[in-house]
Amino acid sequence: MIPFHKPYTDEREANALYDTLKSGVLRGDGPASKSVQKLISDITGAKYVYFTTSCTHALEIAILSLNLKPGDEVIMPSFTFVSTANAVLLHGGKPVFCDIHPDTLNIAPDDIRSKISSRTRAIIPVHYAGVSAEMDAICALANEYNLQVIEDAAQGADAYYNNRHLGSIGDMGCLSFHDTKNITCGEGGAFLTNSEEIARKAEVIREKGTNRSAFLRGEVDKYTWIERGSSFIQSDLLAAMLNIQWQKKDEIRRLRKNIWETYHAALEAFELAGYLQRPVIPKQCTSNYHTYFFTVNSPADQDNLLQLFRSHGISASFHYIPLHTSPFGLQINPTPPSLPVTEKISNCLIRLPIYPGLLDEHPDFCTLALHVLSEYYSI
């Protein structure tokens, strides 16, 4: 079976892990963490970067920093991973789900406006597939209604909007380094902000609610419990690996782009014939080519094609079940609003394998994928 994704690692990561192991500093916030945080800050332009155990935890830091009161609402797409909504629910807020655009699958600013209420505190745009949501429109709405913008940039490492790195544009941003992501250390994430005030809160929340970081900088004599928080600091071992991965970002992007563009060119004829719709990268966006997806015309086409791909040894995949129609989504809100684009897309989306070593391992892979589509549509 040709896998759906595969981390791009070699002896460079192995050496970095071994060097850190030998150094004896395995805890978090050691030299390797400091160095990767500085590297991410230099690349993204975010003034404050904290390496975390996951993007899920970075999202929790963001939500904890808002100090939500019961009934406070946070707007997000329903077409997202569960972590976006869990972060809000776990820390006292109510997720409010919005619809998406059919071409980018990113949150639709018009629908955000229609969902803003007197209880809304924040908006979480999710940058799907490494292509930015409409950040100008979203930040303008946030300014108008005095809301915070938390970017879920889990899929956004090395992707840009008007030359600004995703995660560094809103008030806060969260990146993922899970092994399905372009730049990975197995499990991990980062919390980004340009605000000193938010950074001070985040550093306490991430350090179990203590002022230990200030203590280590020599700013206080003893450290103690000063806020709510948890253990969101990641090990230096994984920081060492992540350092190498970020250094390989151009190589990773180039190899993924090659596959993305090969699929895109091959699928043009099927789009022109009306069988499917290819993804759109708006001109303000520089993609990191995290995902190649397309949408077919019916749930039956989705089912049949996924099966056909698998029968040819290709791990093609669907994506998110909309959160508002998921079992837990319906438990927390039994009468959700209808989100027609999200509901249709979820039943019609197909993602194809994409990872840097794919064409080296399977040089004729794109021809095979194309062959499956030709067999199904008889063209």
The amino acid sitting at 50 is: Y
Is residue 54 part of the contact set for ligand PLP (CB under 6 A)? yes
H or E stretch including 293? strand 292-296
DSSP 34: H
Binder among 8, 81, 294, 365 for ligand PLP (CB under 6 A): 81
Give the orientation angle of helix 299-311 with respect to helix 365-377, to 10 degrees.
130
Nearer to ligand PLP among residue 48 and residue 128 (C-beta): 128
User: Judged by CB under 6 A, which stretch of 29-37, 147-155, 218-226, 287-295 contacts ligand PLP?
Assistant: 147-155
d(CA 55, CA 60): 9
**Do 79 and 100 touch, CB atoms closer than 8 A?**
yes
Determine which residue in the list 37, 44, 56, 245 makes contact with ligand PLP, applying CB under 6 A: 56
Give the shortest CB-224-to-ligand PLP separation in angstroms: 29
Cβ nearer to ligand PLP, comparing 126 with 372: 126
Report, in Å, the least distance between residue 352 CB and ligand PLP.
17
Residues 161-220 that bind ligand PLP (CB under 6 A): 176, 178, 189
Contact 350, 316 (CB under 8 A): yes
- Considering only residues 33, 78, 80, 182, which one is a binding residue for ligand PLP as defined by CB under 6 A? 80
Rounded CA-CA distance 103/278 in Å is 8
Quick one: which segment of 90-98, 151-159, 339-347, 353-361 binds ligand PLP (CB under 6 A)?
151-159
* Pairing verdict, β 189-193 and 48-52: antiparallel
Asked if 83 interacts with ligand PLP (CB under 6 A), we say yes
Residue 109 vs 130, nearer CB to ligand PLP: 130
| DSSP per-residue string spanning 231-282 | B-BPPHHHHHHHHHHHHTHHHHHHHHHHHHHHHHHHHHHHHHTTSEE-----
**Nearer to ligand PLP by C-beta: 178 or 351?**
178
Binding range to ligand PLP, per CB under 6 A, among 50-58, 233-241, 255-263, 334-342:
50-58
Q: Is the Cβ of residue 55 or residue 107 nearer to ligand PLP in the bound state?
A: 55
Number of residues that bind ligand PLP (CB under 6 A): 14
Q: Pick from 238, 104, 97, 99: which is nearest to 176 by CA?
A: 238
From 26-34, 48-56, 67-75, 100-108, span contacting ligand PLP (CB under 6 A)? 48-56
Which span sits near ligand PLP by CB under 6 A: 25-33, 53-61, 207-215, 357-365?
53-61
**H/E segment holding residue 77:** strand 73-77
Length of the chain: 379
Residues with Cβ within 8 Å of residue 203, at least 6 apart in sequence: 50, 213, 214
20, 155, 193, 243: residue in contact with ligand PLP (rule CB under 6 A): 155
- In the complex, which residues of this chain contact ligand PLP (CB under 6 A)? 54-56, 80-81, 83-84, 126, 152, 154-155, 176, 178, 189
